[in-house]
Structure 1
Amino acid sequence: MLGWSLVALVIAALAARGAIAYAHRRGMLDQPGQRRSHTLPTPRGGGIGIVLGCLVAMPGVFLSLPGPWSAWTVASLALALLLVAAIGWWDDHRPLRQWPRLGVQLLAIALFSVSLLAGTSLAWAWLPLLVLAGGWSINLHNFMDGIDALLAQQGVFVAVGLGCLAASIAQPALAGAGFVVAAGCLGFWLYNRPPARIFMGDVGSGSVGLLLFALVAMLWRVEPGMLWPALILGSAFVADASLTLLNRFLRGRRWYAPHREHLYQWLVRSGRTHARAAAWYLAWNLLVAAPAAVVARQLPAMALPACVAVYTAAGATWIVTKRRCVRRASLKDRHVAT
């Protein structure tokens, strides 16, 4: 398990470093702008390292450690990852319209979900729900990839947490897969920590969203009660992306258009550094999400109430903190104008 994690970390780090030179040669640079949170042109596409690391190490983990995963399930996950990464890599080179990109993502999720349900007693009625959940996971992680280190940091935390949950129910292959994903994100983080030398790009953000969804779905398949602590682990990102989308929808704005209305973006707009904004999310993960996930795991009767409580608290925190950031940003802009 440790060996495969080290393989993923090394591949992700080396590929991210190589992607910096490649992005400069191809002109794949994210330029500063009104809807962006960085101030210098920065290469994108470094998430290709996470993809390569996981494509090499995850099959090795699943095939070498005990678990109920067929070769078909492992192959379908690899294929889904390739599809999502490929469409993201294309988008990093030449921006695509949202509908072709979404179509490929949903196809990838459907292929994996079919293999997950096949040969089990689970009803096929779960298939559309899995496809919708997977599509949302891919896109919400893409939405949340906007400042240095934030998504890589979240990927490490959630994947380690999912690996620990899998280990606690005697699923070594699934635990190893979680640690591999975390190692891949850590390898990329080395070049993405503030000040970032490269951004993850759609190739990475969509792939991380797919991988975390796949780990949660596989955990749910072997032990349905693990869904609640798994959802708690991702509460910071799910709450921010969902509430921001809902707010834009209610205001009649195009939800899919680029913007700077996520909480992490308001934290930066109000004067905080990328490192400090990322620290807010890390604090939530360590002080709220992790302890609540432990409670949900150890006390199954409290799992659903704990999940509801965490998301309620996340929603309230989002509302209060965003209002304060908006006021602070307004005062800052007024001070600059005068």
Structure 2
Amino acid sequence: MTALPAWMLLHLVLAATGTWLARRYALKKQLLDQPGERRSHVVATPRGGGIAIVVSVLLGIVWLALKDPSDALLLGCFATGLILVAGIGWVDDHRPIPAWPRLLVHAVAAFLLAWGVHSSSPGLLAPVVAFVLALVLVNIWNFMDGIDGLAASQAAIVALAMVLLLDGVWAWIAAGLVAALAGFLPFNFPKARIFLGDVGSGALGFLLAGLLVAAFRSDRVSWPLLLLPISAFLVDAGFTLGMRILRREPWWMPHVQHTYQKWAGRNVSHVGVTLAYAGFSLVAAMLVLIGIGWTDYGSASICLVWFLGAGFLWARMRRDISNE
């Protein structure tokens, strides 16, 4: 563990330097997110800063795979899937791509992660969980990346919980991700000078899926608890998506109907909304760590109560915002 601080410092420096370079590149190439009715920001802002996080963590994964060949196949599948997700996002940041080709690439990346998990452990449950988590979280993190600091801070909280929960190479990957996000966040919060872009938001979802699958396979906590750190995004994205589908709206198109967006648009600063979501997720992450050793029944009960409370809170906030 003595090398862990140096490992994290290296990721932080790489990500911070890479984000600075990505911002210069975006300004030169005019890769700017313009304000509009489907955006929550009011100033044209460079995008694509998430490439720095991807490169930093990817280099760490490659180094870990070379250091321990016993994990090389799984880490290779994980790294390849990450490249696919980040790559299609990078292209989309330069030239918009239709939703379905992007989803197909995401599905291939999710399959690669599932294949790697299947090749390294018996049974079909873990690969199925890997595929579903990867496909869902890649798109949720993309949907929820709409105000300053939100997607990156939520990812940092989940990754930090995984640092404390996991061991071996996956703890190192989680620690590297936390540090890389710490290098990126000063450019994105409290006032964004660059956005993650699709290259970053989708990649964060894929990275978190890999970490959560590693925690699922470790059996250190009952699996329902692993849903808690991502519950803020699951509830907001899930209910909002459901509402748009019921209204027969094009749910895959950009919009400002998520609760966090409506809250930020109600003369509440992006900082306040991001910190409120962070507080919610920090409590959820602490519950996961406290829940080590809980029975499946107890964990499922806590998870049910938590999600019912989160759903009630989401509905209450939607009502209050609509009434103003």
Whole-Å Cα distance in 1 between the matches of residues 148 and 74 of structure 2? 34
> Who is 2:141 aligned against?
141
Which of the numbers 310, 320, 323 marks the counterpart of 2:316?
320
> Who is 2:165 aligned against?
165
What do you get for the CA RMSD once the two structures are aligned?
Answer: 1.8
> Who is 1:29 aligned against?
32
Residues 27-80 of structure 1, C-alpha deviations (whole Å, 9 max, x = no match):
100000011011100000000011011011233346558xx9621111111111
Residues 153-202 of structure 1, C-alpha deviations (whole Å, 9 max, x = no match):
11110000011111xxxx23221211111111111111000211000000
* Runs of 4+ in structure 1 over 6 Å off: none
TM-score (norm 2): 0.94
- SS of residue in 2 equivalent to 1:19: helix
> Who is 2:288 aligned against?
293
> Who is 1:74 aligned against?
75
Is the CA contact (8 Å cut-off) linking 1:12 and 1:53 kept in structure 2? yes
* 5+ residue gaps, structure 1: 329-338
- Tell me by how many angstroms 1:257 deviates: 1.3
Whole-Å Cα distance in 1 between the matches of residues 224 and 7 of structure 2? 28
Is the CA contact (8 Å cut-off) linking 1:140 and 1:237 kept in structure 2? yes
Over 3 Å counting, the alpha-carbon distance change for 1:224 and 1:172 in structure 2 is closer
Over 3 Å counting, the alpha-carbon distance change for 1:300 and 1:69 in structure 2 is farther
- SS of residue in 1 equivalent to 2:306: helix
> Who is 2:180 aligned against?
184
**Does 2:48 align with 1:45?**
yes
Amino acid aligned to 2:10: V
Which aligned pairs between 1:201-212 and structure 2 lie closer than 5 A?
201-212=197-208
Which of the numbers 224, 234, 239 marks the counterpart of 1:238?
234
Range moving further from structure 2, 38-47 or 310-319: 310-319
Is the CA contact (8 Å cut-off) linking 2:48 and 2:90 kept in structure 1? yes
Whole-Å Cα distance in 1 between the matches of residues 50 and 286 of structure 2? 29
- Tell me by how many angstroms 1:271 deviates: 1.0
Amino acid aligned to 1:78: A
**Identity level (%):** 36
Which of the numbers 214, 217, 221 marks the counterpart of 1:218?
214
Amino acid aligned to 2:286: P
- SS of residue in 1 equivalent to 2:323: helix
Over 3 Å counting, the alpha-carbon distance change for 1:243 and 1:206 in structure 2 is same
Is the CA contact (8 Å cut-off) linking 1:270 and 1:326 kept in structure 2? no
* 5+ residue gaps, structure 2: none
> Who is 2:300 aligned against?
304
Residues 185-220 of structure 1, C-alpha deviations (whole Å, 9 max, x = no match):
111111000211000000000000000001111221
Is the CA contact (8 Å cut-off) linking 1:9 and 1:187 kept in structure 2? yes
- Tell me by how many angstroms 1:312 deviates: 1.2
Range moving further from structure 2, 238-247 or 297-306: 297-306
- Tell me by how many angstroms 1:294 deviates: 2.9
Which aligned pairs between 1:102-121 and structure 2 lie closer than 5 A?
102-121=103-122
Over 3 Å counting, the alpha-carbon distance change for 1:129 and 1:292 in structure 2 is closer
